[in-house]
Chain A
């Protein structure tokens, strides 16, 4: 497997009138070609911010990238640091080599432009095709994502589509230029379960067909189980655990991940058992992190958790955890 994206030590802060919001603290991860990486976390954990920042989609100010690099290996030439690119440099990659699917398709699509033109626009821009050829390619794409009557629908506006159909159009937009990476930011959160299953299936199919790496941002651990190869769990702007999906679900190592898994109801449940909830609420991101962000809610927290920020430690093949406590043996880790 070859690396397609490598993010290192990303730190992002928001400078607001009320103070500094520590949105991302030292996030590092790699993305391999053709794999699906799921980023899971609660609202405000920084999962969207980390991805938006790579494509310069964060409003700056108030946001500021304090530190970090993000190497993209999808260009023919040498790798580029996405964070250091200028405006025209990132425009060449954004929408072309890296596609984006947003949660709310209705506000992500231009309401006064036909969906056909919105898709062909990026084909003309990035692939340099003529208008007529771009139109043919667009119609083919619309067929591919399962929109009936693609030729007639080419001239329709976004409001004439249903929620599921709009999300299909979004997928067509993001995959129009056969990208290397598609970032999907909660693409199915606003959809019903039966439609969600359709969209997940479609994304998986297209991913296999074009060998696209997908970053799937979500808070739903169920969807992740069905599609992710690897999972990055985030909490309050910090990465807490990265592991293969199988590993993460069968052998979670961070107290937060374990808490999340236990908080899920069992589909076969009979309604008698209680859910194991995580007490307390996520921390205020206005406070500068000086120790483990999860210490307030952690059942295992001890002195050291209140003094230092835990670093990412490997606990197995492709399994990295940021925690001072060895959950398996029930005691603090040594040599960390």
Chain B
């Protein structure tokens, strides 16, 4: 599976443009029983064999329902959680093979922004101290240089530099998220994992933050992994989108392909469940409503993980795990029946 993807990229000229490469990433959380002689009795398979590339300057969106492993994927890529197996590369450096000390030197190049803007800011530190902290830890300059940089960052994310002396509780949710973005940008990272950065914000504020993300990407050439469950927002900000279900990628393709020609039955039902803010369109639309709920990741279904909710499942789906492959150029898919559903477009 990974050989297929990597070989395809290895002989291409795109090699130097890949920012992050993820190969067969797995993250299993052990379930143990007993206190003194504890032994492992099972595992929560949060992320199961995920492979993809993120190009330089690209935004890759990751969508999926809660518990599908999208946040775990983000954290495992940054080695905030140690992956169970699999490899992650940042350009040509294998992150997963680094020792702690080496990893620490690499950290400034990759950052993370969390959903809860309040919990990720120290309530006892002023905004200036919060934003300066990564620079102080990494000794990037003299105190005066760092202070100038803090002011510059505040302006960059659209906050008043005079507010640097204030504390997190004095800001609204949207402003706090701007502080988080400034903090993440402090060390001039190249790659940022954004874990549901706008989910907790009101609609009118969401638009402000999304625009800020896009402006920063244009100005600084950032690469984003943008995790969210709001499909319409993800499609707006991303260049390509990966749809995850039960720890696996079901489909990965460009936004345009995803809305015009979704091939996976799960993607199709997900797209049809997303409400459209227009009563006329809503009236005439047929919804594919999935039966039941997501199975437990401790006890994955045999074969295709989606087969027990899939409206078109066949015998092969319960027996064999579908291969994650590039069915048409730049359109990755894990489904046995894609040919039947997608029609002539998958003929190649």
Contacts and interface: CB of A to CB of B under 8 A. Distances in A.
Interface of A: 42-43, 162, 164-165, 192-198, 201, 219-226, 228, 245-246, 249-250, 259-261, 263-271, 274-279, 281-282
Contacts of A274: 211, 214
B204 A267 contact: no
Interface string B294-321: 1000000000000000000000000000
A266 B270 CA distance: 16
B275 A220 contact: yes
B236 A222 contact: no
Contact of B275 (A164, A226, A266): A226
B202 interface: yes
A268 B259 contact: yes
Interface stretch (B75-83, B102-110, B111-119, B285-293): B285-293
Given A225-B282, A226-B276, A271-B236, 11 more contacts: A42-B205, A193-B270, A195-B65, A196-B273, A198-B289, A249-B277, A268-B259, A276-B207, A277-B207, A277-B208, A277-B211
Nearest to B274: A193
Contacts of A270: 255-256
Interface string B255-291: 1100100000000011111111111111000010110
B275 A222 contact: yes
B147 interface: no
Contacts of B280: 246, 249-250
Contact of A222 (B172, B207, B232, B237): B232
19 contacts: A165-B293, A192-B65, A193-B229, A193-B275, A196-B273, A198-B290, A221-B277, A225-B282, A226-B275, A245-B279, A249-B278, A259-B204, A263-B203, A267-B259, A267-B271, A271-B235, A275-B210, A279-B208, A281-B172
B289 to A, nearest CB: 5
A222 B235 contact: no
B126 interface: no
Contacts of B271: 267
B231 A278 contact: no
The 10 A-B residue pairs with the shortest CB-CB distance in the complex, in nearest-first order: A222-B275, A265-B236, A277-B207, A192-B65, A263-B207, A42-B202, A275-B207, A278-B204, A197-B273, A226-B282
A221 B275 CA distance: 8
Contacts of B229: 192-193
Contacts of A277: 204-205, 207-208, 210-211
Contacts, number: 132
A162 B293 CA distance: 8
B175 interface: yes
Interface of B: 59, 65-66, 172, 174-175, 202-208, 210-211, 214, 229, 231-233, 235-239, 255-256, 259, 269-282, 287, 289-290, 293-294
Nearest to B238: A271
Given A226-B275, A267-B235, A267-B274, A281 B175 contact: yes
A225 B204 contact: no
A250 B283 CA distance: 14
Most A CB atoms within 10 A — which of B175, B233, B235, B236? B236
Given A193-B65, A271-B255, A277-B208, A265 B232 contact: yes
A7 B210 CA distance: 38
A260 B279 contact: no
Contacts of B231: 193, 267
Nearest to B240: A271
A310 B58 CA distance: 46
A194 B245 CA distance: 12
B255 A269 contact: yes
A270 B214 CA distance: 13
A261 B277 CA distance: 8
Nearest to A190: B66
A139 to B, nearest CB: 21
Nearest to B290: A194
